[in-house]
Chains A and B, each alone.
Chain A
Amino acid sequence: MVKVRIPTPLRTLTGGKSEVEAPASDIQSLIESLNGQFPGLKDRVCDDNGEIRRFVNIYLNEEDIRFLQGKRTSVKDGDEVSIVPAIAGGVHPGDA
């Protein structure tokens, strides 16, 4: 099983859990496995073409999978995967 750290904005999909586990052989199968457990998660992480969204990073241990083999990056039991949203900010009218 691979341990997956879930960021705050996605915890509504995981019942508030900050860490979940899923069986997988690579990142792609991990995302599918997570989506099976937590429907809708894939849409938040991947775009319509199945690519990782530009405001999401996925780290295997401490390395961004974009610098490994992307979604084909292999994972094994005991690995830690982190879904990390990009840094954001801004002003809503009236909230400054």
Chain B
Amino acid sequence: MLAGKDGRVTQHYKIANIVATEGAHLANFDEAKFAHLQALSPDERADIAFVMDARDMSAALKDVRRLGLELQVIYHSHPHSPARPSLTDIKIASEFESTRGILNLPEPLHLIISLEKKDAPEANAFRIVNGTVTRVSYQTL
């Protein structure tokens, strides 16, 4: 997760991906993906899916509030696919819309980093609202 203020990211929070170790009851995934994930080894699972450790996520959000910052970006990588949201990403980002309302979080951008071309990684940012994906530009300072 990336946090900051006024559209400028200043804080980085690394959140553990627990999909590899918590193979069962992956409530965020549909049954087909759940079955697929269960059939994979932990390393293979982590390559195609992520589930943030809820404790890390909560601690990060608490620190963001303590520093007077706002959640600005949620990022993850696609080791073997392009830097654009998958159908799973869009579905889960749309479901996060209701969650962020509960937690009074602003709408985050979604940054996806593709490692498909090892010598030329690519990172693109998107707004995902009500299932609609819009690519947005960003600047690295």
Per-residue CB contact flags for chain A residues 62-96 toward chain B (1 = under 8 Å, else 0) read 10101100000000000000101111111111011
CA–CA, A52 to B140, complex, Å?
A: 38
Among the stretches B2-10, B76-84, B117-125, B129-137, the one at the interface with A is B76-84
Per-residue CB contact flags for chain A residues 23-45 toward chain B (1 = under 8 Å, else 0) read 00000000000000000000110
Q: Does A91 contact B103, Cβ atoms closer than 8 Å?
A: no
Q: Does B51 contact A88, Cβ atoms closer than 8 Å?
A: yes
Q: Does A55 contact B28, Cβ atoms closer than 8 Å?
A: yes
- B107 close to chain A: CB less than 8 A: no
Q: Does B25 contact A91, Cβ atoms closer than 8 Å?
A: no
Q: Does A87 contact B52, Cβ atoms closer than 8 Å?
A: yes
Residue in A closest to B16 when the chains form the complex, CB atoms: A54
Q: Does B95 contact A90, Cβ atoms closer than 8 Å?
A: no
Count contacts between A and B, CB distance < 8 Å: 125
Q: Does A55 contact B22, Cβ atoms closer than 8 Å?
A: yes
Partner of A85, one of B19, B28, B58, B86: B28
Partner of A62, one of B18, B98, B104: B104
Q: Does A8 contact B95, Cβ atoms closer than 8 Å?
A: yes
Where chain A touches its partner, the secondary structure class is mixed
Where chain B touches its partner, the secondary structure class is mixed
- A57 close to chain B: CB less than 8 A: yes
Range for the number of chain B residues in contact with chain A: 35 or more
Q: Does A89 contact B88, Cβ atoms closer than 8 Å?
A: yes
Partner of A54, one of B54, B82, B89, B99: B54
Per-residue CB contact flags for chain A residues 42-56 toward chain B (1 = under 8 Å, else 0) read 011000000011111
Given the complex, which residues of B lie within 8 Å of A56, measured CB to CB? 27, 54
CA–CA, A31 to B50, complex, Å?
A: 26
Interface residues of B in 36-63 (CB under 8 A from A): 36, 48-55, 57-58, 62
In the assembled complex, how far is the CB of residue B88 from the closest CB belonging to chain A, in whole angstroms?
5
- B92 close to chain A: CB less than 8 A: yes
Given the complex, which residues of A lie within 8 Å of B103, measured CB to CB? 59, 62, 82, 84
In order of increasing CB-CB distance, the 3 nearest A-B pairs are A90-B49, A88-B28, A96-B81
Enumerate chain A interface residues (CB-CB to B < 8 A): 5, 7-10, 18, 43-44, 52-57, 59, 62, 64, 66-67, 82, 84-93, 95-96
